[in-house]
Structure 1
């Protein structure tokens, strides 16, 4: 069993022990995930690119906590929907490798046309 599966199991048990499963609908989890992503984004909102790459200890701790929240909600949502996150990420990377030929897109931020 991998780390994500262990985390999903732990989160499922956490919700069950508190009778929170009824609140953990896909809609609610997706909304909570979006809120936590917003909190993560807020940590970087007014920083320059250089500042965002060299966070102090306090800012790093806040970002770490927000990343933990984002991960927790994402793992819980994927578990509820039966989605293997690692497989989904590999599948998405496979698609991106097909769409973004290094010879055409190296150093470019432009978006590829849909497949």
Structure 2
């Protein structure tokens, strides 16, 4: 996944719609949370088995919500001047150190 290219595309959408003033860290974190809630809603009241056997429409919807969360988080990382790829790799290495034998 080419994160800089994704950010370029996201910024083009943002700028074409004059949304820059709304894309501060607080609003982006809140937007990611709202999208995460929409993802959670897909699984609400489902058993473990049902959650693993989503219909094609539910799987597509889940993919859309996962993408929304990811895109907002990429924008948040950018606004905080974080290297998101490096942050992910560092966190993964930390988890490996902590949780692998």
Fold-level match, TM-score > 0.5? Answer: yes
Q: Deviating runs (4+, > 4 A) in structure 1?
A: none
Corresponding residue of 1:23: 22
Corresponding residue of 2:42: 43
Q: C-alpha displacement at 1:32, in angstroms?
A: 0.6
Could you tell me which runs of 5 or more consecutive residues in structure 1 were left unpaired when the two chains were aligned.
103-115
Distance in 1 (CA, whole Å) between partners of 2:96 and 2:13 is 38
Distance in 2 (CA, whole Å) between partners of 1:45 and 1:75 is 26
Distance in 2 (CA, whole Å) between partners of 1:78 and 1:21 is 15
Distance in 2 (CA, whole Å) between partners of 1:22 and 1:81 is 15
Q: Which of the pair has the greater relative contact order for Cα pairs under 8 Å at 6+ separation? A: 2
Distance in 2 (CA, whole Å) between partners of 1:6 and 1:83 is 16
Question: What is the number of equivalent residue pairs in this alignment?
Answer: 101
Is 1:55 aligned to 2:54, yes or no? yes
Corresponding residue of 1:98: 97
Rg larger in 1 or in 2? 1
- 1:68-83 residue pairs with structure 2 within 5 A? 68-83=67-82
Q: C-alpha displacement at 1:24, in angstroms?
A: 0.4
